[in-house]
Amino acid sequence: MEAMRRKLLWAERENYQGWVCSECAWEFNPLGPVVGQSFEEMKSRYEKQRDAEFRSHVCAEHPRTTRNPR
């Protein structure tokens, strides 16, 4: 069976704006403020944290909810 091809996507919703998984309800929420000596260092640290959390999340632990359950 082929591995799931999930993608990191940008989402803008009523109560959330940020990075999400294409296959589940996972959302990236930084652990705290991004620090660094320069903007480039801050950006790099943010991206590394985001990418590491995205790679390590398990989609089954973040199921999507349905709006109209039966």
| pLDDT tens series, the chain, 70 aa | 345 699 999 999 999 999 999 999 999 999 889 899 999 999 999 999 999 999 999 999 999 886 655 4
Judge whether 22 and 6 are in contact, CB under 8 Å: yes
Q: How far is the C-alpha of 52 from the C-alpha of 47, rounded, in Å?
A: 8
Whether 16 is covered by a domain: the verdict is: yes
Kindly report the length of the chain: 70
Whether 34 is covered by a domain: the verdict is: yes
**Structural domain range at position 49:** 8-61
Whether 70 is covered by a domain: the verdict is: no
- What's the confidence (pLDDT) of residue 56? 96
The count of structural domains within the chain is: 1
Whether 67 is covered by a domain: the verdict is: no
